A and B are shown apart, each in its own frame.
Chain A
Amino acid sequence: MTLTDTMRPITEISVTPPGYRHDPGARLRPINWNRVGDDKDLEVWNRLTANFWLPEKVPLSNDLPAWQKLTQEERTLTMRVFTGLTMLDTVQATVGEICQIQDARTEHEEAVYTNIAFMQSVHARSYSSVFSTLTSTPEIDDAYRWAVANDLLQERCKKVLAHYYGDDPLKRKVSSTLLSSLLLYAGFYLPLHFSVHATLTNTADMIRLILRDKAVHGYYSGYKYQRGLETHTAAEQEHMREFTYALLEELYDLELQYSGELYEPLGLMDDVAVFVRYNANKALMNLGYPARFTPEETEVNPEILAALAPGADENHDFFSGSGSSYIIGKAVDTNDDDWDF
């Protein structure tokens, strides 16, 4: 350190630990949560920690009677779908989130990915909790052998992994957002479908906790993608836009094949495809891009939508109603403490 170094901003004279890889001689800097450059990092960190949960808190064993009433076909489907979800969460926990640390724009962003990576491991483990509660070791082992042998499942993961281990930080972000906001949803469909029929409702509650986390994960990767993208030239931005829509197309096609094999025997695939397209559009919105699929192609079965979010129905569209129920009330005095009722 020289005297002039003390005059310069600390971020200019030091690097965070991942920077060692590129410059072993650089001075290292610890994370300082009392000097936050991007408020979104702290906001997302706080959301993530407030939403923390563990599968042990969900009374999965209450689903045993419902599990025993399922047909063998439904049980096999459930185990394969959940093993597929476990695969994606394993990819995301051990590679997808970790590989984004090197591209972080702030030191706090590095910490956020460690948090998200751990939560993805919790998600992966939660499916094992379902299995150990409801099924037997031989059945579990069979499902894992099925996953290792399934070419489409493998290809879906490797399509994304190639970009995670590639050399483009923006492509890592797009791949991560598409995995979190598109690939997982054909799997999430099944427990929502069962919960509509009052089956495996505790498992569905657990899936709702996972869905809540995934929304924050997809939002954050998408937000950081847009912060990164805006530092590039118009030509580079156009290249990334084309890359994003092309990768979405590839993953969507693979998803239809992979999920088609699983769901078609039960006649559910049309409904699943709508749900995938609806979530593909949401993945694009997280990345700041317009929808790929039309409103007609993304009209999710109202029962599934209600199982997902009870408030997402038309009751909250005042514009479509007559407005006759509008009652003029008197507003009350408010203060800051008053708003968390």
Chain B
Amino acid sequence: MPAPHEPRRAALSVRELAAAQSPDLVFFSSVSENTRRFVDRLDRPAVRVPLRPRVEGLIRVARPFVLVVPTYGGGERAGAVPKQVISFLNDPANRALIRGVITAGNTNFGEHYCLAGPVISAKCRVPELYRFELLGTQRDVEHVNNGLTRFWDRTPDELTSIERKTA
């Protein structure tokens, strides 16, 4: 099938966040806005990975963060991680700062439930912190909020420092 609108590899603009403005929560949400609604309910500062990088540009964060991401693809490993999130993590500066991943999914996808979680966890060598379905329940919101607070409290300095480098 021809792909007439193949994105050109021209450099996209990058918005660099200052350390003071770089939240410890980064998320991606498609136009369905499901994941955004979950993150809104956490009521914590968070930054969104741009949905349309060619229009909105890319972002580069400056402090360690946990990533919240929906799973795409509906049953195949290929394409489970949204392509915008791949672009975001392909930036070594961003990848060096990820500390954990929380994934949204649907148990109907069986063994591929929340597949983006293990894919990112393996690729970036960070723990998979939590999984929830669709918009998440109130219980999920409370669990993640308490969990994130404890996670950052107990995470050793070497992980919260921005010094951790990739290979």
Contacts and interface: CB of A to CB of B under 8 A. Distances in A.
A332 B143 CA distance: 30
Contact of A332 (B5, B150, B167): B167
B125 A328 contact: yes
Contacts of B89: 334
Max count, chain B CB within 10 A of own CB: residue among A212, A285, A311: A311
Interface footprint category on B: 35 or more
A259 interface: no
A323 B129 CA distance: 10
B11 interface: no
Contacts of B150: 319
Interface string B64-81: 000000001111111111
Interface in B73-94: 73-81, 83, 86-87, 89-90, 92
B111 interface: yes
A244 to B, nearest CB: 15
B128 interface: yes
A339 B119 contact: yes
B110 A211 contact: yes
A288 B98 CA distance: 29
Nearest to B79: A340
A233 interface: no
Given A211-B108, A316-B117, A323-B154, A47 B73 contact: yes
Given A212-B110, A331-B166, A319 B95 contact: no
Given A47-B74, A215-B74, A340-B79, A309 B109 contact: yes
Given A51-B74, A211-B108, A312-B113, A331 B86 contact: no
B117 to A, nearest CB: 7
Contacts of A332: 123, 125, 166-167
Contact of B137 (A47, A295, A318): A295
A319 B110 contact: no
Given A40-B32, A309-B110, A334 B130 contact: no
B28 to A, nearest CB: 14
Contact of A319 (B72, B114, B135, B143): B143
A39 interface: yes
A212 B71 CA distance: 13
Given A215-B108, A281-B137, A339-B86, A331 B79 contact: no
Contacts of A330: 125, 166-167
A76 to B, nearest CB: 28
A226 B89 CA distance: 30
B135 A285 contact: yes
A40 B74 CA distance: 14
Contacts of A216: 74
A50 interface: yes
Interface string A112-139: 0000000000000000000000000000
Given A223-B32, A305-B107, A308-B110, A212 B90 contact: no
A295 B106 CA distance: 16
16 contacts: A40-B32, A43-B30, A47-B72, A212-B108, A282-B106, A282-B133, A308-B108, A310-B110, A311-B113, A311-B131, A318-B100, A318-B151, A319-B148, A331-B124, A336-B87, A340-B79
Given A43-B30, A336-B83, 8 more contacts: A40-B31, A215-B74, A215-B108, A309-B108, A312-B107, A319-B143, A331-B124, A331-B166
Interface of B: 4-5, 30-32, 34, 37, 72-81, 83, 86-87, 89-90, 92, 95-96, 98, 100, 106-111, 113-114, 117-119, 122-131, 133-135, 137-139, 143-144, 146-148, 150-151, 154, 158-159, 166-167
Listed from nearest, the 5 A-B pairs whose CB atoms lie closest are A319-B147, A329-B125, A215-B108, A340-B78, A309-B107
